[in-house]
Structure 1
């Protein structure tokens, strides 16, 4: 005999499902999610899905237009550059430099910055005040300018660019986490937890951190966009990833001389940069709004 439950039981969706349902209501966030997912898949599978070697030169197809042009060929879907290298292969391989390395830099900066920022936010007195004033001075300097100074001292290379971008992002995470924890520390729910006798570790990880998640999401989104733009800008200036590496900023710099002859050399890497950064910002803002709505409704 079937066991029928006559009592109504309301099932709340999990936090991740609530975020997904909120994002699903926004078509721009859904499109951004799929663009970013495609970019990440392209980055991870780039050695397997590139049609040709990114550095391979085809002397019989120099400045070949994209395949949708009348003079194009289907084997070079996005055309070739002034050295006969396949543009599609270079854009796919360049996602490792323009998206993969910024992800690593943001991850390292987030781990170090959140750790120091949490310690500073939970401390009081001279330590917290001195750190806050020092960060205000550092953050008053644009991130790209700081990266340029570090690169000028260390020299242009991929390792030095990663080191410079990571150093630039760490103070931003420290400042944001410190201020977020400081703002939450004197609220009623934190005071109630302190009166219950919880230790500092429990207070930080179980009480305060769940309520600053939206701040961390926004800072991570901003940091990733900044890292991608800074690496592209340094490559464009010739101070970042060096040729013949297919980094998107380096490709943009190389295309300046051919912009009127072969505009696809500039449009394609520029479009890849634009779509990647736009999808990150739209998706990050949607996740932040979903978390904020869930906190309001809880």
Structure 2
């Protein structure tokens, strides 16, 4: 006999579902999420769906304008550069350098920095104060300048850029998480957990960390934007990803000599950088607002 429900039973959405409901109520945030998802999908599927190889040259079709121009061709939708390489293929493959590597860098720096920052936030005394002042000194130096110093020591290459940006971003996570944990540890709900005999590990992972989610989300968003722009800046200066790799910053540097003759060589990678960073910032800010709305309504 089927189980017939005679009465309506309200089921409270899970915390993640509440965050998603609050997030999707903002159409601007959804648009940014779709944009970022499209760029990420393009990055993953670039070896499969790109029309040509990123470095394949068509010597008889150099500086071909995009397809919407009267002299353009649909086969080369975004046109070609001064060496006859398809711009659409280069931008798609370049997303691996300009977005894929920053994501890996931020994941690594976020895990290490959050763990160290959470541990530092649970301590007090001379060690905690010394670490805090040391981080203040490090964070007073711009991230790009620190990366330039490390690259100058190690030499320009993709591997050294990854190492440099990881070392630059880890202190930022440590500082943000350490301060957030230090602010929460004296609140009443943490004191109550201590009086109940909860272990330090339980208090940190089950009591404090869920309440500093907004800090971690905002720091991750800021770090990802910083990593993308720093990789592009180092590539633009010739200290990061080296040609012929289709990194967007490197493509911008190569387009300087052709900006008046072939403006699409600068506009297209610049637009890709702008859309990527803009969508990440909108998603991060909207996600922070959605989490705070759930906390207020709980």
TM range (shorter): over 0.9
CA distance in 2, matches of 1:197, 1:252: 58
CA distance in 2, matches of 1:16, 1:3: 29
Counterpart in the other structure of 1:96: 96
Report how far residue 159 of structure 1 moved: 0.4
Greater shift, 150-159 or 14-23, is seen at: 14-23
Counterpart in the other structure of 2:120: 120
Greater shift, 221-230 or 5-14, is seen at: 5-14
Q: TM-score, normalised by structure 2?
A: 0.98
Q: CA RMSD in A?
A: 1.0
User: Structure 1: which 5+ runs fail to align?
Assistant: none
Q: TM-score, normalised by structure 1?
A: 0.98
Report how far residue 295 of structure 1 moved: 1.1
Note if 1:58 corresponds to 2:58.
Answer: yes
Greater shift, 154-163 or 13-22, is seen at: 13-22
Report how far residue 26 of structure 1 moved: 0.9
Report how far residue 264 of structure 1 moved: 0.4
SS at match of 2:10: coil
Counterpart in the other structure of 1:31: 31
Alignment size in residue pairs: 298
Report how far residue 15 of structure 1 moved: 2.2
Report how far residue 93 of structure 1 moved: 0.2
CA distance in 1, matches of 2:26, 2:18: 13
Report how far residue 11 of structure 1 moved: 1.1
Large movers: runs of 4+ above 3 Å? 1-8
Counterpart in the other structure of 1:130: 130
Report how far residue 50 of structure 1 moved: 1.2
User: Structure 2: which 5+ runs fail to align?
Assistant: none
Deviations 1:77-123 (A, max 9, x none): 00000000000000000000000000111011011101110110011
Counterpart in the other structure of 2:290: 290
Greater shift, 90-99 or 124-133, is seen at: 124-133
CA distance in 2, matches of 1:243, 1:142: 26
Deviations 1:243-280 (A, max 9, x none): 00000000001001101101100000000000000000
Deviations 1:197-244 (A, max 9, x none): 000000000000000001100000000000000000000011100000
